[in-house]
Structure 1
Amino acid sequence: MTDVDPLVPVLTGLLVDVVRWLESCGDEEVDPDSAVKTMETIGWVLLQLPADQRTRFLRALADLAEAEPDPARREFLVSFPFAMGLTEDE
């Protein structure tokens, strides 16, 4: 299933990359407490999505992971839904 609106996968990828960057930052780049708070806020917002929008977001993540040539980013995309509490299965 491919999104009709190309903006969805672009914004999904961008959001994942922001979280990935926050997780990988050193203390000198971003205050750890601020990074955690930002990631918790992102997770909370994603959990507030209506079921159809959450399904669309998860589909966009799966599509991005399938097409991702970088193994590290692909793994992050695959694990993102579980890490953010959007699914119970890793």
Structure 2
Amino acid sequence: MNCEPLVRAIAAGMMFLEESGDDEVDPDSAERALENMSHVLLQYAGPDRDEFLELIERVADSTPDEHDARFIRDIPRAIGMVES
């Protein structure tokens, strides 16, 4: 199964919530949604976590927009999956 579209969808949702203005998405709701997404992603452990991290890098490497690529690469750090 090709999971890259799933990672792209997760990243797009997170980017939307993170970068939307207060007039687009209630900030408290955006924060709750991001926390819920992070909680679910942090359930990955062992080889699954390693595979997710590799997939994040692959997706970021194939993303032409540098801003989007940086955002995708930063997801594991932003959710607390890896340290800076």
The TM-score range, normalised by the shorter chain, is over 0.9
* Structure 1 residues 44-83: aligned runs within 5 Å: 44-83=39-78
Alignment partners' CA distance in 1, 2:30 and 2:46: 27
Report the secondary structure of 2:32's partner residue: helix
Residue in 1 that maps onto 2:18: 23
Alignment partners' CA distance in 2, 1:21 and 1:51: 29
Give the counterpart letter for 1:87 in structure 2: V
Length-normalised TM-score, structure 2: 0.92
Give the counterpart letter for 2:59 in structure 1: L
Give the counterpart letter for 1:48 in structure 2: Q
- 1:15-66 deviations in Å (ceiling 9; x for gaps): 0110001011111111110100000011111111232222111111100111
Residue in 1 that maps onto 2:32: 37
* Structure 1 vs Structure 2 CA RMSD: 1.0
Structure 1's unaligned 5+ residue stretches are: none
What is the number of equivalent residue pairs in this alignment?
Answer: 84
Alignment partners' CA distance in 2, 1:75 and 1:46: 18
Aligned sequence identity (%) = 33
